[in-house]
Amino acid sequence: MKLSTLTTLVALTLTVLLVSGTEQAAAAPPPTLTVSLSITNITFPDQDPDFFPVSQQTGLPVQITLTTKNIGTATPYSCSVLARGDLTSGLAIIPVSNIGWTAVTLAADAGESFYSGTLSKTTAVVVAQGSGNENRPSPLQADLTFFIQNLWSYATGNYSQTIDFTITSP
């Protein structure tokens, strides 16, 4: 018999930050860095923590696509994620560090990588990094599957939080 239920909602919000520190010729087009997500809201199933100590998000993974245009081949870029705070439902809190993700690369060039990780509300966590490639045949892509530590100590509720994805290049 279940003593309580857990319904958790995490809203993924996209933030794009462009930083360019390289000298550009007057006629050169400006650098363009973009992030897109196939899904902007994920939920976790209501599962018994005794049988499911870790719950995977419902539905399909979040497909993340990064494009880098007009940056030099030696110019590094990085995509990171930062939560705006812990998950909340009224006064109840679930630490955002109880949520992590696994990354499965779908398309990348040599030297470009996606990483699995754990969310943080204090430190941006790197999701992907690499160097510019003007001859890339397709964008850099991966599937991110989120999971949560499923504990009986969570108060019943509908929890939510926003996490921001940011791509930067010096």
Give the least confident one: 4-8, 39-43, 65-69: 4-8
DSSP state letters, 72-139 = -TT-EEEEEEEESS-EEETTEEE-GGGEEEEEEEEE--TT-EE--EE--SSS-EEEEEEE--TT-SS-
117, pLDDT greater than 60 = yes
| Phi, psi dihedrals of residue 108, rounded to the nearest 5° | -160, 155
The predicted structure's pLDDT at residue 78: 93
20, pLDDT greater than 50 = no
72, pLDDT greater than 90 = no
- Relative to beta strand 92-94, strand 99-107 is unpaired
CB distance 135 to 71 below 8 Å: no
Question: Region 9-37: what's the mean pLDDT?
Answer: 57
Q: Is the pTM of this model over 0.85?
A: no
* The listed CATH number (1.10.246, 1.10.760, 3.30.70, 2.60.40) that belongs to domain 7-18+31-168: 2.60.40
Amino acid at 16: V
The predicted structure's pLDDT at residue 131: 84
13, pLDDT greater than 60 = no
Banded model confidence at residue 87, pLDDT cuts 50, 70, 90:
very high
Higher pLDDT pick, 161 / 72: 161
At 131-157, the pLDDT tens digits run 876 666 678 899 999 999 999 999 988
The predicted structure's pLDDT at residue 128: 95
Higher pLDDT pick, 124 / 132: 124
Give the least confident one: 49-53, 108-112, 115-119, 160-164: 108-112
112, pLDDT greater than 60 = yes
The predicted structure's pLDDT at residue 27: 60
